[in-house]
Amino acid sequence: MLDAFFRTLAGAFLLALMPLASAGPQVEAPYLLPSDSGGWSAQSLEREDDAVRVRRVPVAVGDEVTIPAVDEVPSFQVRLRAPANVAPAEIAMPSDAPLLVIADTHGEHGILVELLRNHGVVDERLGWSFGEGRVVFLGDVFDRGAHQTEILWLIYKLEAEAERTGGGVHLLLGNHEALVLRGDERYLNPKYLRTAEVLGVDAYADLYGVGSPLGQWLRTRASVLKVGDLLLLHGGVSPGTVQRGLSPEQINLAVRQVLSGEIDPDKSELHGFVMGTEGPLWYRGYFPRGAAPPEATDADVAAALRHFGVGTILVGHTIVPEVMPLYDGKVIAVQVYPKRDEATGDAVLGAVLREGGHWQRLGVDGTRTPLAQG
Ligand SMILES: [Mn+2]
């Protein structure tokens, strides 16, 4: 009884001390700006009380950068790699390996890490522990939340670690990657406008230029990915995409050409279409809203499946209350908006797993529920 009282008292003291213990500079994840020497200057903001200062460290390919801890998420090291190759539009995977698909994370680093840990994708120190499993991110890492940079570094790191165990991590591009990389700052967490200002760049997008590791890597990612009999993409496949006969390779190339500044979508009908509301990054036709675009019919979905030679399409982008099959299971909508209940601490994030031929929706807490198909 008394023992329990003292434990409670000690707990209360620890709680009271915690803010003191964790006080000290809050460091942001670094941005790598090309330097004259051929490498980069890794620049991080340090905030302490009201003061903000910039830490600059010269780095090069092969060096490690430290991504600082955020709340409960520990810091981690990322080794810088040579420029990324263009990501494939189609991958094969062993039929018995698990495939985990995560929708738009929008800067919610803590929630993402909780989900990855609770489903055995990463260990306590954020090391890849999913073996030959594959993880596909359906885009929209950027915007709204306050820790998009940490998430991008984590995905970049896991991509290399997964490859070493015969697994894979695949980041697909969403409309918010296109927005931010092309200089649209409307949906950025306000903290990032301040980051750009303090680092002395004209625009936030300059921190993700083609000469930075993450900027170069992002501009080589796929927008549409075929995995066996599945098609994965951010928005969806509109009838216009099928009518144009666009292949995954053609779509991915068009997006890359726009994001690298090679082609202006206002001056090319094809690129304008691919980057527009009927394009794969923006399309919302699977979700009737009484407004444009018209709702995709069963025939539209069947035509899309035939065109891409797949049985199921997985999409993020449009918010659903829980991961759900649409069109008799021919489409799976994955985007549950990531958020944490302030009172209970419980979090949600859209994620689904295919293992042994069965689909399960995933809880951030590690729970798995069979997804009724059709
Ligand atoms: Mn989106």
pLDDT of residue 15: 43
- For residue 174, how far is its CA from the centre of ligand 1 (angstroms)? 6
pLDDT per position as a tens digit, 211-245: 999 999 999 999 999 999 999 999 999 999 999 99
Nearest CA among 234, 137, 140, 142 for reference residue 188: 142
- For residue 22, how far is its CA from the centre of ligand 1 (angstroms)? 35
Report the relative pairing of strands 134-137 and 168-171 from DSSP bridges.
Answer: parallel
CB 300 within 8 A of CB 314: no
CB 272 within 8 A of CB 188: no
Q: What is the enclosing helix (H) or strand (E) of 110?
A: helix 109-118
- For residue 57, how far is its CA from the centre of ligand 1 (angstroms)? 34
Long-range contacts of 92-98 (CB under 8 A, 24+ apart): 92/228, 93/132, 93/134, 93/168, 93/227, 93/228, 94/132, 95/228, 95/357, 96/356, 97/131, 97/132, 97/133, 97/134, 97/167, 98/130, 98/133, 98/134, 98/353, 98/354, 98/355
- For residue 350, how far is its CA from the centre of ligand 1 (angstroms)? 13
pLDDT of residue 25: 82
Query: What residue segments make up the domains of the chain, in order of their start?
Result: 2-79, 90-370
Query: In CATH, what class is 90-370?
Result: alpha beta
pLDDT of residue 20: 45
CA atoms within 13 A on the CB side of 253: 6
- For residue 276, how far is its CA from the centre of ligand 1 (angstroms)? 12
- For residue 298, how far is its CA from the centre of ligand 1 (angstroms)? 23
Token pair of 135, please? 């993880």
Provide the terminal-to-terminal Cα distance of the chain, rounded to the nearest Å: 56
Task: Name beta bridge partners: 102.
Answer: 137, 351
SS3 372: coil
pLDDT of residue 37: 84
Residue numbers in the chain where pLDDT is lower than 50: 1-21, 374
- For residue 175, how far is its CA from the centre of ligand 1 (angstroms)? 5
- For residue 143, how far is its CA from the centre of ligand 1 (angstroms)? 10
How many CB atoms lie under 10 A from the CB of residue 148?
Answer: 25
Please, which residues have CB within 8 angstroms of residue 64's CB and are 6 or more apart in sequence?
77, 78, 79, 80
Task: Name beta bridge partners: 170.
Answer: 136
- For residue 30, how far is its CA from the centre of ligand 1 (angstroms)? 25
pLDDT of residue 8: 47
Give the residue carrying structure tokens 């539009």.
89
- For residue 317, how far is its CA from the centre of ligand 1 (angstroms)? 4
- For residue 167, how far is its CA from the centre of ligand 1 (angstroms)? 26
pTM, rounded to two decimals: 0.93
pLDDT of residue 94: 81
- For residue 314, how far is its CA from the centre of ligand 1 (angstroms)? 13
- For residue 81, how far is its CA from the centre of ligand 1 (angstroms)? 28
SS3 307: helix
pLDDT of residue 96: 87
- For residue 345, how far is its CA from the centre of ligand 1 (angstroms)? 25
- For residue 278, how far is its CA from the centre of ligand 1 (angstroms)? 13
97: exposed, middle or buried (Cβ count in 10 Å: 0-12, 13-18, 19+): middle
pLDDT of residue 64: 98
